Chains A and B, each alone.
Chain A
Amino acid sequence: MLAEFGYGILLVTFLLTLYCISAALLGALNKSLALVESARRAMFLTFPLLSLSALALVALLLRGDFNVQFVYEVTSRSMPIYLKITAWWGGQAGSLLFWSWLMSAFTALAAMRRWDRDQEFLPWVLVVSGGTLAFFLALNVFFENPFARLYRLPDGTIGGYTFQPALSTPVYPSDGRGLNPLLRHPGMIIHPPMLYLGFVAFVIPYAFAIAALVTGRTDDRWIRITRRWSLWAWLFLSLGLVLGGRWAYDVLGWGGYWAWDPVEIAAFMPWLTGTAFLHSVMIQEKRGMLKQWNMVLIILTYSLVIFGTFLTRSGVLSSVHSFAQSAIGPAFFVFIGVTFALSVGLLIHRWGDLRAEAEMKSLLSREALFLLNNLLFISILIVCFWGVIFPLISELVTGQKVTVGPPFYERANAPLFAALMLLMGVAPLSAWGHSTVQTLGRALWKPAVGALLITLLLYFTYTRNAIALIGFFLVALVVLVAVYEFWRGARARQRAQQENFFQALIRLIARNRRRYGGYIIHLSMMMMAIGILGIELFQTETQGTLGVGEELSLQGYRLVYRDVARWDDLAGGVNHTRAVVELYRGERYLTTLAPRIDFYYDAQQNMTIPGVRSTLADDVYVLLLYWEPVSAQGATFKLYVNPLVNWLWLGSLVFLLGVIVAAWPERDPEPASVRVPRSARQTSSAD
C-alpha cells in the first residue's frame, strides 16, 4: 500500500506542478494577480507533497520491502540503517526523486521571498523552475518509478511494473541485492546531495534571468536578487566536486582523486560556467557591462546542469560512475534542446536591450581582465566538452570507440589553468575603469619579486621540475597579492580608525564580505593548487609481492609486511582481508598501516581500502592488491607516495570559510548601487 501511496502522491505533485505552470502563464498573460498567487501557492505545496512521497520511499527502504524493485536493487538485510536511508539516492529512480525533492524545496523557498518589488518576475520564475520540476517528476512518473513492484510474467521474466501486468504473479525476494559497495562510504553519502544541491540551486538564478528576458526588465535586478543563490549553488557544487575527489581517493584504490572521467567532467562543466558567471556579474553591477554575456553564462550553466544529469543518469557514457542506465536518454535530450533553444531565442530577442552602459577604457582595467578570465573558463569548458562528446561522435561517425583520457585534458588545460592563476594574481591589483602599465606595475612588482624569491628557494631546496616551479611561482604570486590586499586594507582602517591591526582586519572583512571572502577563496584555491601540483607532478608508485618480513621501498620509505588475516563479518555480510604493514622512514619506525580488501557477499564485489599515513608533506598510500591463503606466496602490495595532496583537502575547508564569509547575509540593508556612472546620470536601478 505504501508504494501505491508514494506513487499516487508523485502523480498528484506532477499534476499540481502542471497546474502551477499553466496558472502562472495564464496569470502573466492576462495580468491576473489572483492566478499568479494561486500558482505560487501550488508551488509551495509541491514540497510537503514530495516530502511525503520521499518518506514513503525511505519507509519502504527501512522496512526492507523487497517486492518493490528499487528497494530490492539498492538495499539488503545486512545493511545498517543509515545506509538504508541514504540508499535513497544510491540508484536511478530514487536519485531522480531526490533531485525533484530538492528542486521543490528550492523553488518553494524562492516563492516564499517577498515579491512586492518584483511582481512581474514571479510568474516567469514559477514557469521556469516549475517546468524543470515537472520534467524531473515526469521522468519518475513515466519512466523510472521508484515504487514499481516486481512481477513474474507468464514467460518467466521478472520486471518492475507500476501496475500489475495481466497473468503475472508478484515476486517477493527474500533479500535485496544490496547497495553497490563503492557507494557505502561517508563521502558517497554526502557527495551526491552536495552535487545535486549545487545543480538544483543554479536553476533559480536561471529562472530569474529568463524572467528578466521575458519581462524586458533587463537591468541588474535579477542579478542582485540571485547573487546569494548563485554563491550557495556554487558552494554546494564545489564541495560536491571535492567530496567526490575525496571519495575516489579513499575508495577507488588508484591512488588519485580525479581521473578526467566523463562523469566527473559532467559536474565540472557547470562549475566552470558558474565560476565565470560569479565573476562577470560583478562587472555588470559595477560598470553596467557584459549584460549579454551574463545571460549567456547563466543559460549555459543551466543547460550544463541538465546535461550533466543527463550524462550521469542516462548511461550514454559507460563509465565507473554510471551505475544506472535507463531509457530516459531521449527525454533528456529533447528537454535540453528545447530549453536551450527557447533561452537563446529569448536572449536574441532582447539582445539590443542588454547593451553596455559604459565603455572599456583600458586593456588592463579590472573589467578587461575579468573578460579574459571568462574567456579562459570558457576555453577550459570547450576542451572538457569536446573531450566528453568526442568518443560519442567518433562512435557515430566511424563506428569505432575511442578513449579521451587524462593526457588529452592535462595537455590542453594546464596552460589555461596557469593563465587563470596569473590573472588571479594580477586582477585584484587593477582598478575598475582604467589601469595603466605603470599603475599595475607599481602595485605588482613587490609581490612578483617575493614570488620569484620563493620560487628560487624551492629551486634550491625542493624541486628542479620546470612545470612545478612555474606552478609554485604562480601560487606564491596569488597568495602574496591576496595577503597584501588584506594587509593594505587593514592598515588603512587601522590608521583611520585607531584600532589594533587584528580588530581592523576583522572589521574590514566583516564590512566588505564579498570582496574579502573572494580573496579567502583565492587563497583556498591556491592551497588546492599546491596539492594538485604535488600529486600530479611528484606522485611515485611501486608494486611488489612480499613474504612476511620482506619489504618494499619508495622515496626513502620502507614498507615491511608483518601479518595478514581474513575473517567474516556475518552481521555486515562482508569478508575482510586485512594486512598489517609497518612503515619506516629509513630506520625510523613511523606507524603501522592496515590496508584491506572487503568482499561484499550480497553485491559479490570487492572493495580495496587503502592504509594511509597523511602529513602536510605527503601521503603514504598502501593498497593490498592480492592475497590467497592457498598459494601462500605472500601478499601483493601497491605503494604510492603522494606529495602535498593534503593541501587539496585543507584548501577545501578554507574554501568553505571563504564562501560563507562572502555569502553571509548582511545585517544592513543592501547598499545602494555603487556603480560609478559614466556621466552625471544616476543609475535608476538603485534600491
Chain B
Amino acid sequence: MMRLMRLSWLILLLAALAVRPAWAQGPRPPTDDEVNAIARKLYCPVCENTPLDVCPTQACAQWRSLIRQMLAEGKTEQEIVQYFVDNYGARVLNEPPRQGFHWLAYLVPPLAILVGVAIVVQAFRAMKRPGPAAPTARSDQEALLDEYLLRLEEELRRQR
C-alpha cells in the first residue's frame, strides 16, 4: 500500500515535470478568469443544465483544472471545446451544434413564427371587410381621446 502511494506520488511528480516545459513556454500561467471564460461556454457533463464555470461539484473543479492545464499547454479555446465535445458529447455545448438533425433547433421557431404571422395577416384581412365609411372629419385630438375621457368630460359638463 505504502509503495503504491509512493509510486503514485512519483508519477504525479513526473507528470508535473512533464508539464513544466509547457508552462515555461507560455508568458504566464493562465488566470482563473481565462479558465472561466472558456468554462462558461461549456455545460457540466454530469449535472445537467449547469454551466461549467459555476458548477460547485468536485468533478467540475477537476474539469476546470483540466481547462487550465490545456491552456497552459498552449491549446486554443477551440481545441479545448473540441476536446470536451469529443469526450463527453455535444451536450457540453451551450447550444445544439449547427449540423445535421440539430439544424431543426434553429429552423423550427422562425418557420413557426412565420406561420403565425401568416395566420394573423389572414385573420386581419378577414376582419377588415368593407364596412360603412369611417367618419374622417373628426379632429385628431378628439380621435385620440379615448371614450373614457370623453365620457368623463361629458358627465362633468352635464353636472355643471
* Chain A residues within 8 Å of B, Cβ to Cβ: 252-255, 259, 261-262, 289, 317-320, 356, 359-361, 363, 368, 371-372, 375, 378-379, 382-383, 386-387, 390-391, 393-394, 397-398, 400-408, 412, 429, 431-435, 438-439, 442-443, 488-489, 492-493, 496-497, 511-512, 515, 541-545, 606, 608, 636, 674, 676, 678
The answer to whether A356 and B127 have CB atoms under 8 Å apart is yes
Residues of B within 8 Å of A372, CB to CB, are 120
Q: List 30 A-B contacts (CB under 8 A).
A: A259-B49, A261-B49, A262-B49, A289-B127, A320-B47, A359-B128, A359-B129, A360-B127, A375-B117, A379-B113, A382-B109, A386-B105, A386-B112, A390-B108, A397-B101, A398-B100, A402-B91, A402-B102, A403-B43, A403-B94, A404-B105, A405-B49, A407-B94, A408-B94, A434-B134, A434-B143, A488-B149, A511-B152, A542-B33, A545-B32
The 0/1 profile, CB within 8 Å of A marked 1, for residues 61-94 of chain B is 0000000000000000000000000000111111
- A360 near B47 with CB under 8 A, answer no
Residues of chain A contacted by B49 (CB below 8 angstroms): 259, 261-262, 317-320, 403, 405
Identify the closest chain A residue to B112 (Cβ): A382
**Is B27 located at the chain interface by the 8 A CB criterion?**
no
Say yes or no: A402-B90 contact (C-beta < 8 A), given A386-B109, A412-B109, A512-B148: yes
* Contacting pair A403 B144 (CB below 8 A): no
| A391 / chain B contacts, CB cutoff of 8 Å | 91
Contact yes or no, B116 A379, CB < 8 A: yes
Number of interface residues of B (CB under 8 A): 51
Q: What B residues does A515 contact at CB under 8 A?
A: 148
Do B91 and A319 touch across chains, with their CB atoms under 8 A apart? no
A375-B120, A438-B140, A493-B152 are known; give 10 further A-B pairs, CB within 8 A: A360-B127, A368-B124, A394-B96, A394-B101, A403-B93, A403-B94, A405-B43, A408-B94, A442-B144, A492-B149
CB-based nearest B residue for A545: B32
Given contacts A254-B54, A261-B49, A382-B116, contact A403 B109 (CB under 8 A): no
**Nearest A-chain residue to B160, judged by Cβ:** A496
Distance in angstroms from B41 CB to nearest chain A CB is 9
Is the Cβ of B48 less than 8 Å from the Cβ of A318?
yes
- The answer to whether B43 and A253 have CB atoms under 8 Å apart is no
Q: A320 — which chain B residues lie within 8 A by C-beta?
A: 47, 49-50
CB <8 Å contact, A676 and B152 = no
Q: CA separation between A636 and B105, bound complex, in Å?
A: 38
Q: Say yes or no for B104: interface residue by CB 8 A criterion.
A: yes
Q: Which residues of B contact A255 (CB under 8 A)?
A: 54
Chain A residue with the shortest CB-CB distance to B153? A496
A361 interface neighbour in B93, B95, B131, B152, Cβ under 8 Å: B131
Q: How distant is A285 from chain B, measured CB to nearest CB, in Å?
A: 12
Q: Which residues of chain A are within 8 angstroms of B134 by Cβ–Cβ distance?
A: 361, 433-434
CB contact list, B139-156 vs A, under 8 A:
140, 143-144, 146-149, 152-153, 156
Distance between Cα atoms of A394 and B101 in the complex (Å): 8
- The 0/1 profile, CB within 8 Å of A marked 1, for residues 19-63 of chain B is 000000000000111001000000100011111001010000000
Partner of B147, one of A319, A404, A496, A676: A676
Cβ-closest chain A residue relative to B157: A496
B131 interface neighbour in A289, A359, A493, A511, Cβ under 8 Å: A359
CA distance A255 to B123 in the complex (A): 45
Counting from the closest, the 4 A-B pairs by CB-CB distance are A405-B94, A543-B32, A360-B127, A254-B54
Closest B residue by C-beta to A496:
B156
Given the complex, which residues of B lie within 8 Å of A544, measured CB to CB? 31-32
> Roughly how many angstroms separate A434 CA and B120 CA in the complex, as a whole number?
18
Report A423 CB to chain B, min CB distance, Å: 13
CA distance A666 to B89 in the complex (A): 59
A497 to B89, CA, bound (A): 71
Q: Which residues of B contact A379 (CB under 8 A)?
A: 109, 113, 116
Chain B residues with CB below 8 A from A432, complex form: 146-147
The residue of chain B having its C-beta at the shortest distance from the C-beta of A406 within the complex is: B94
Which residues in B have their C-beta under 8 angstroms from that of A433? 134
- From B95, B149, B156, A404 is in contact (CB under 8 Å) with B95
Instruction: Collect the chain B residues with CB atoms within 8 Å of residue A489's CB.
Output: 149
- Kindly identify which residue among B43, B96, B112, B147 contacts A674, using a CB–CB cutoff of 8 Å: B147
- Docked-complex contact B56 and A608, CB < 8 angstroms: yes
B143 in contact with A375 (CB, 8 Å): no
Q: Which residue of B lies closest to A433 (CB)?
A: B134
In the complex, the answer to whether A403 meets B127 with C-beta atoms within 8 Å is no
Let me know if A496 and B152 touch, CB within 8 A: yes
Q: Using Cβ atoms and an 8 Å threshold, which residues of chain B touch A398?
A: 100-101
Residues of chain B with a CB closer than 8 A to A318's CB:
48-49
When distances are taken between beta carbons in the complex, the residues of chain B under 8 Å from A412 are 109
* B58 to A: closest C-beta gap in Å: 10
- The complex places the Cα of A77 from the Cα of B113 at a distance, in Å, of 53
Report the minimum CB–CB distance from A544 to chain B (whole Å): 6
Q: How many angstroms from the CA of A515 to the CA of B124 in the assembled complex?
A: 25
Structural contact, A497 and B156, CB atoms closer than 8 A:
yes
